[in-house]
Structure 1
C-alpha cells in the first residue's frame, strides 16, 4: 500500500509532470552556454553544487566548472536600467524552477544573487 501511495505521489509531482511533456516554469534564457546539457543540469545541479561546495570548503578549490558564481554570472538577467536582476527574484531563473518544483533553497542567504560587475571587482 505504501509503495502505491509513493508511486501516485511521484506521478503527481512537478518533476513527473514536467517529464510527461507539460510546460515547465518560464524564466529568462541564460546569457551563455551552460557547462553541461540542460537535462543533466536539471537532474544533477544540486549534486554538482554540493560537491563543489565540499571541494571549496575542504580543499580551497575555487572557480571550478560547477561553481555557484558561474551559475549566477550566466543566469542573471539584466533589467531595463542595465542592472542585473537577482536570480532568486520572482520570475527569474533559480526562483522560477525552485518554485515550480516546490523546493526551498538557502544558497542566497549567504551567496550573491547577481554577478559581480567590472566596477565592483577589486
Structure 2
C-alpha cells in the first residue's frame, strides 16, 4: 500500500475518533485574494492540482500556470503585526491549519518558500 494511502486512512481514523468528541473544525485564515478555483474544489483536489503543476513544471518547463504553489503562497501567507509575511506552514496559518486537522504532513516547503518573494500588490495604487 502506498504511503499516502496509509496516511490518508490513518487521518480518517483519527478524524472519526475526533468527530465523536465534538466539533473540531479547523480555524482557517482567510486568503488575501480571490482563489483560482471554487473553495470546495480546492479543498478536495488541491494536492492533485499541485502534483499536476509540479509535473508540468519539471518535465515541460511550464511555470506560472493556474495552480502554481507560488501563487497559493502569495495569497495565503498572512502579514503579522510587524508587516512581515507569516509562513503558510507556521502554527495556525493556512496550510498548516488544514494539514494538522487532517493529520497530513506538508513536504512542499522542504524546497519551496513559505512566504511570498515580494510585497503584495495594493489595490488602487498606481506606480
TM over 0.5: yes
- Aligned match of 1:58: 59
Q: Which deviates more, 23-32 or 35-44?
A: 23-32
Equivalent residue, structure 1, for 2:79: 78
Contact persistence 2:27–2:92 (CA under 8 A): yes
Indicate the residue corresponding to 2:99 in structure 1: 98
With a CA cutoff of 8 Å and minimum separation of 6, indicate the structure with the bigger relative contact order. 2
Instruction: Note closer, same or farther for the CA distance 1:96–1:56 as it changes in structure 2 (3 Å cut).
Output: same
> What are the ranges of 5 or more consecutive residues in structure 1 without an aligned counterpart?
1-8
CA distance in 2, matches of 1:85, 1:42: 21
Q: CA deviation at 1:77?
A: 0.2
Number of residue pairs aligned between Structure 1 and Structure 2: 108
Deviation at 1:10, TM superposition (A): 8.7
- Give the ranges of 4+ consecutive aligned residues of structure 1 lying more than 2 Å apart after TM superposition: 9-15
CA RMSD of aligned residues (A): 2.4
TM-score normalised per structure 1: 0.79
